[in-house]
Amino acid sequence: MKKLLILVMVLMVLGAGSGAAWWKFVHRSDNFATARALIEKGDLRAAQIDLRNAVRDDPTNAEAHFRLGVVQMRLGDPVAAEKELRLARDNGFDPRAVTPLLAQTYMAQGKFKELLRDFAASGQPPEIAVAILVTRGLAMMQMDNIDGAASAFAEAERLGPQSVDPPLAAARVLIAKRDYAGAEAKVDRALTINGKAPDALVLKAQLSNLKGDRPKALTALDAAIEVAPNSSSARLERANILVATGQDVKAKADVDFVLNNEPRSAGAVYLQAVLAARAKDFPAADAALTKITGVMSRFPRGYYFQAIVKFNLGQAEQAVEAAGKYVARNPGDPDGIKLMARIDLAVQRPEHAIQMLEAPADAGTADADMLDLLGRAYAQSGRSQQALTTLQKAAAMAPDNADILNRLASARLGLGDAAGAAKDLEHSLELAPKQASTGEALVVASLADGDVDKAAAALTKLDQSKVNAEVFGILTGMVRMAQLDVDAAVTAFRSVLKERPDSVPARLNLAKIAMLRNQIPDAERLLSEILSQLPANEQALSALVGLYVLDGRLPRAVVALQAARAAAPTNIGVTLGLIDLHIRLRDGDKALAIIDEAMKGQAQNQALVAAKVRALVSLGKNADAETELRNVLKTDPTNEAARRTLADLLGTQKMFDPSRATLRDGLALVPGSPRMIEALIALELVATGPDRTLQLLDELSRDTRNRPALRAMKGNVLMTANKFADAAAAYAAEYKIEPSGDLAARTAQAWGLAGKPDLGRPTLVEWLATHPDDMAPLQVLITMDIGAKKYDDAERSLKKVLDIQPNNVPALNNLAWIYQQKGDTMAQTLAHKAYLLSPTPQVADTLGWILVSQGKPDVALMLLRQASTQLATDGTVQFHYAFALNAVGKKDEAVSVLRPIVLGKAEFDEKPAAKRMFDELSVPK
């Protein structure tokens, strides 16, 4: 049950002496007399000073100790009040006055068990027993002993039928039981005893508020404050309602009034913090909450606001702790779940956020915000498809939420659905046309979709007055680059650097262009400039290290990675890159030193373990590598990656029996494991050859759990033995038992390698007749048609692929190649889109060759150089590059490229044309 915020009864300290015997006292000193006058004026803090002086002058003055305890209690210092009230009691002050107030100091400190232990009602006069029973009951409520509290309040009502406090306390029990009608009856009973009792009026207001009748609640509170202007409980309750209705200015007036009288009032300090947080004055809110840390749990939303405040102050750990406490106390509160999830995402704890959010999502109780947060958590944890699905649900629940649409677009973009992302962003712009960030994202999404025209149109619609100048310049350069206007792109990026010399994106893009233009020194300079300021920038580091490795400058690459690791010692990617470079340089000892340092103080990291094994093997320490892997398996026997690595290590040493045993143990742990079965078959092929491996397949197939992973294995083994026709027959037999696109494709490929492609074609056609969207067999059919020069058939199939997957890069590239053969101008359009989607060397070659044939060798040269560098052994690609070099007047370079492919033994379709060009260019002039 939720703890109730118990209203601490305000002690009414009367100035005149009637009624209370303990109030009558003789003026023992000027300090005491002054204190009394100050109390009558309501200046409690000044009174406290004089009372302290009074007890200092006369430590035996029981009356002064009592009065000081009363004042300290009103000032919100129950610890000091307890001390003074004990001294008052020990010095002989009337126990009828001291005992109930002393019990209240326990209550205010949360000492509920101690209160029940130290204050018994039995044996006390009725007036004291009533007060003690009420206080004991309130303590029991805080300890969730509702029945015990009800009994205590009932006994208090019996002993004090004319006392207001017992029926009010009993009403609180009924509120806890959600018996609001019964509670109201108890409050009405209290009001018949004293129609102007402030606490009764306050509780009456609370009941009205619980029923949703805030105007009636405010009326009751106004009446209570009129009767007792200094009533803290009435003013705080009214402030609570005013805060809930957005009347913060009026609420602040009540809170300030209470704090002026009772600076340590926990309720007032809490509301002060809430008001400060709502005003975004988080330092002030934090200062206020710090004052009530010890009693935070008494406020239903205390930890909730503390989490918000700590988060906005950048104190992530404290925010996580506070949010965790709130959710633990309120596990079903949607606000708490969402707050915890937001903090989790901010501190990179997506798995915890997922754990929090999946339950309401699975139960169907999650709203759009929860689904949005869950989608973001999936995205942060790398579960891209789940992120997309969840964000789609969120967008369906809140179709007009532009922020959710933007995140959905980002998820689509991450999964390669750039077209879908662009559509979401266009819709988002319709909902919120002035969102500059959405327009910027649309440019990026359109480029990712290969739609340069849409990207250019989105760029022109951006309001430059609302877009960051650097961002606009970068987007302009990206669009110009996509339009293959390289000079304009360079101008745009240089303009950014002129205004923002520290712009990393501008330098990265200029470096990329420099590499495409073979301006390696410029690229190296630009990348080095970035790394001098940001040594661990992943894009710049990857590009520069790539340049060094390509040129054989491995020591320079090591220096760059060492600087990056010094700047980002926890970046595992940088660490692994440095380790692998040391291994490549045959410096395994340095690699091991880095690994040992990286492993200190953290749980086992598989990537580091694998790196350690590589380093040990490079040093010839196979036994140590084996020990390392066996230790991993001892901790986690199901770790298939480590098991496969251990088997490979043993196999390379021709220790085939231990290698087999290692893999069979893994298969016993996970029957039917494809990874273990594949490893066993690969090992047997190396150890004994195809015939014994086929026997192994028969043995493994006796266990029905292994059969799904064995379906294509017989054909695969026969393929490795170059028995292509037998392999095709094996695949076909499995296909007959249980048809699949994979087996249809394998059957056709095997017949093709056997020199009988026509025998494989019927299986493909049969499968595709009922599964036209199955990409793998369709791609095999296309490859067969292109190889057979059946371009019309290939064109029809490629168009089918693009109908299903408009951004399928191989299909775009192949169709562009076919159109080029036919002289169709669509060739450049398709190749251009393919390059924008995926600038691979194969696509760069296709687009570059098309541009050369259209008389655009300057741009083509940049693309063909990229293809030539990355496909150095492909004769056709090298010929295309040489052709472009010659077209721009670089005859000598063209000859250098042609010489190895013309004089070499490798054959390729364009070799005759390459030889003719080589002969022509080699003739002295």
Helix residue ranges per DSSP H, 262-349: 266-278, 282-291, 302-312, 316-329, 334-346
- % of the chain surpassing 90 pLDDT: 47
Check if the beta carbon of residue 561 is closer than 8 Å to that of residue 545. Answer: yes
Average pLDDT over residues 670-696: 94
pLDDT digits (tens, 9 = 90+) for 358-373: 999 998 988 988 998 9
Question: Residues near 317 by Cβ (< 8 Å), separated by ≥ 6?
Answer: none
Does the structure show a pLDDT above 80 at 174?
A: yes
Which of 41-55, 173-187, 666-680: highest mean pLDDT? 666-680
Does the structure show a pLDDT above 90 at 687?
A: yes
Instruction: Transcribe 684-704 into DSSP letters.
Output: HHHHT-HHHHHHHHHHHHTSG
Instruction: Quote the crossing angle between the two packed helices 78-90 and 95-109, to the nearest 10°.
Output: 150
Minimal CA–CA distance to 798: which of 784, 823, 778? 778
Does the structure show a pLDDT above 50 at 5?
A: no
Residue 800, both tokens: 């089918």
In this prediction, residue 542 carries a pLDDT of: 92
Check if the beta carbon of residue 852 is closer than 8 Å to that of residue 863. Answer: no
In this prediction, residue 31 carries a pLDDT of: 65
pLDDT digits (tens, 9 = 90+) for 585-624: 999 999 999 999 988 866 678 888 899 999 999 999 999 9
Q: Identify the band that residue 1 occupies on the pLDDT scale cut at 50, 70 and 90.
A: very low
> How many angstroms separate the CA atoms of 843 and 840, rounded?
5
Does the structure show a pLDDT above 60 at 20?
A: no
Q: Identify the band that residue 10 occupies on the pLDDT scale cut at 50, 70 and 90.
A: very low
Average pLDDT over residues 575-593: 93
pLDDT digits (tens, 9 = 90+) for 516-561: 888 999 999 999 999 999 999 999 999 999 999 988 899 999 999 9
Residue 352: half-sphere exposure toward Cβ, Cα within 13 Å: 17
Check if the beta carbon of residue 536 is closer than 8 Å to that of residue 545. Answer: no
Residue 56, both tokens: 């200092």
In this prediction, residue 925 carries a pLDDT of: 58
CA geometry: angle at 483 spanning 479 and 487, to 5°? 85
In this prediction, residue 30 carries a pLDDT of: 60
pLDDT digits (tens, 9 = 90+) for 445-468: 788 888 889 889 888 888 777 778
Task: Write down all domains in the chain, each with its CATH number in brackets.
Answer: 1-109 (1.25.40.10), 110-194 (1.25.40.10), 723-771 (no CATH)
Does the structure show a pLDDT above 50 at 334?
A: yes
Which of 37-51, 183-197, 684-698: highest mean pLDDT? 684-698
Q: Which contacts (CB < 8 Å, 24+ apart) does range 416-424 have?
A: 416/807, 417/388, 418/445, 418/446, 418/448, 418/449, 418/450, 418/807, 418/837, 419/449, 419/451, 419/806, 419/807, 421/445, 421/448, 421/449, 422/446, 422/449, 422/451, 422/454, 424/395
> How many angstroms separate the CA atoms of 813 and 71, rounded?
86
> How many angstroms separate the CA atoms of 220 and 214, rounded?
10
Q: Identify the band that residue 21 occupies on the pLDDT scale cut at 50, 70 and 90.
A: very low
Question: Residues near 785 by Cβ (< 8 Å), separated by ≥ 6?
Answer: 791, 793, 794, 797
Does the structure show a pLDDT above 50 at 14?
A: no
In this prediction, residue 18 carries a pLDDT of: 30
Among 285-289, 334-338, 438-442, name the one with the lowest average pLDDT: 438-442
What are the distances in angstroms from CA 648 to CA 627, 651, 673? 14, 5, 17
> How many angstroms separate the CA atoms of 508 and 522, rounded?
11
Does the structure show a pLDDT above 50 at 15?
A: no
> How many angstroms separate the CA atoms of 665 and 642, rounded?
13
Total number of residues shown for the chain: 925
In this prediction, residue 420 carries a pLDDT of: 65
**Helix, strand or coil, per DSSP, at residue 111:** coil
Q: How far apart are the first and last CA of the chain?
A: 99
Check if the beta carbon of residue 31 is closer than 8 Å to that of residue 252. Answer: no
Residue 576, both tokens: 């692994």
Q: Identify the band that residue 850 occupies on the pLDDT scale cut at 50, 70 and 90.
A: very high
In this prediction, residue 82 carries a pLDDT of: 92
pLDDT digits (tens, 9 = 90+) for 407-427: 776 767 666 665 665 666 566
The CB density around residue 9, as the number of other CB atoms within 10 Å, is 22
Minimal CA–CA distance to 817: which of 837, 842, 836? 842
Q: Identify the band that residue 12 occupies on the pLDDT scale cut at 50, 70 and 90.
A: very low
**Phi and psi at residue 872, in whole multiples of 5°?**
-65, -20
Residue 884, both tokens: 């472009």
pLDDT digits (tens, 9 = 90+) for 100-123: 899 889 988 888 999 999 888 888
Average pLDDT over residues 498-512: 94
What are the distances in angstroms from CA 449 to CA 405, 442, 563? 17, 10, 36
In this prediction, residue 161 carries a pLDDT of: 92
In this prediction, residue 298 carries a pLDDT of: 82
> How many angstroms separate the CA atoms of 33 and 47, rounded?
10
> How many angstroms separate the CA atoms of 108 and 100, rounded?
13
Minimal CA–CA distance to 87: which of 124, 62, 110, 68? 62
Does the structure show a pLDDT above 80 at 793?
A: yes
The type of residue at 220 is A
Helix residue ranges per DSSP H, 604-689: 606-618, 622-635, 640-652, 656-669, 674-687
> How many angstroms separate the CA atoms of 786 and 791, rounded?
6
Among 62-76, 203-217, 434-448, 548-562, name the one with the lowest average pLDDT: 434-448
In this prediction, residue 56 carries a pLDDT of: 86
Q: Which contacts (CB < 8 Å, 24+ apart) does range 289-294 have?
A: 291/264, 292/266, 294/110
Average pLDDT, the chain: 87
In this prediction, residue 83 carries a pLDDT of: 93
Q: Identify the band that residue 430 occupies on the pLDDT scale cut at 50, 70 and 90.
A: low
In this prediction, residue 29 carries a pLDDT of: 46
For residues 885 and 464, the model is more confident at 885
Displacement of CA 273 from its chain's centroid (Å): 29
